[in-house]
Amino acid sequence: MSVVLAQSPALTPLLARGALLSPFKRPRPDAEFPHDRLVLAAPRIDLARLAAYERVCGFATGDDALPLTYPHVLGFPLAMRLMSRRDFPLPLLGLVHTSIDITRPGPLLATGEYELAVRVEGLAPHRRGTEATVVTELRGGGEVVWGSRSTYLARHRGSGGDGEKVERTASRADGEGRASGDRAPYARGPGQPLPAGERRRSLDDAPDAREPLPATGSGQGRAPSAGATAEGPIAEPLPAVAEWQLAGDVGRRYGAVSGDRNPIHLHPLTARLFGFPRAIAHGMWTVARCLAAHGTPDAVRVRAEFRAPVLLPGTVTYAAEGGRFELRGDEERVHVSGTVTPLGS
């Protein structure tokens, strides 16, 4: 059923309601979930706010084009309205944004007329819990002109598979991170293979939260050869392009233009309530900043995975080669990885 809204809902009360209901949720992959499709018939794009978003994320300003990641900002309040409902089975507190897949068939104008729709596509078992897929679509002239699929993971016991063998630590973080002591914040969604030649460098690299992985390829069941692991070949890191010094107020600045004012992004004191030593950057800011540096064609598909939180202030390395990009931190730890693929290529 489609539910048409007259205006975008306010984020703050939705986040508060979701937080209050979180302790009462019992996530499992076969749980019922809301099947409503929330529709915003004519989303208003504030050009001043858009320009501020472009400045914070590093996009070029002064033209009429929408940055590739901006429709996610427009749809985020609708997604939060669904995920903060009583009948959404995953707790909002502790929900981890693991990946986003964006498709844009062509350029978008900020002054265009659109319809925005968000729905929960379904739940799936994950070795660390239950994962929800949320679909956001922007339509113009009756056609989908921008679409995304975001996966969100709720960590819990009883998910089956190897995940139950891992000693768990308390996690109270939201969709951009984890509590201290839990060094396994991000996971690949079910059925999503690693890019060719890429080494798995997400939650399986944590020495205190490691779990066995199946061998891949023809060498399954054999000891890995030199230059490889049971997960597959170890690729050389992408070449560094730039080093970015991130200020401590990045979370506050992005929160002001996106509306996502989760306390873990705003100040060290509020971040510590959730187990972080300092505030952390929004995952969607890190992706937007990487794409602003990388550049994208008009018709494009982007896949990005959130692997580890970025502490603020801090220093990160932006690395890219061809259609791949990474954001790395200390000891070559990968925070974000992604691919940019021109459509029709």
Give residue for tokens 């392009």: 241
pLDDT tens for each residue of 277-308: 999 999 999 999 999 999 999 999 999 999 99
In the prediction, which pLDDT does 171 show? Answer: 33
User: Is 136:145 a contact under the CB 8 Å cutoff?
Assistant: no
3-state secondary structure of 282: coil
What are the C-alpha distances in Å from 178 to residues 76, 154, 171? Answer: 21, 12, 6
3-state secondary structure of 327: strand
Name the residue with higher pLDDT: 201 or 311: 311
Q: DSSP string of 195-207?
A: PTTPPP-SGGG-T
In the prediction, which pLDDT does 274 show? Answer: 77
Q: What are phi and psi of 289, to 5 degrees?
A: -65, -40
pLDDT tops 60 at residue 168 = no
3-state secondary structure of 81: helix
- Rg (the chain; Cα; Å): 19
Domains of the chain: 2-159+172-180+240-342 (3.10.129.10)
Closest CA to 182 of 101, 255, 128, 126: 128
Beta strand segments in the chain, E: 2-5, 37-40, 96-104, 115-126, 129-140, 143-155, 228-229, 232-233, 240-246, 300-306, 314-321, 324-328, 334-342
In the prediction, which pLDDT does 164 show? Answer: 36
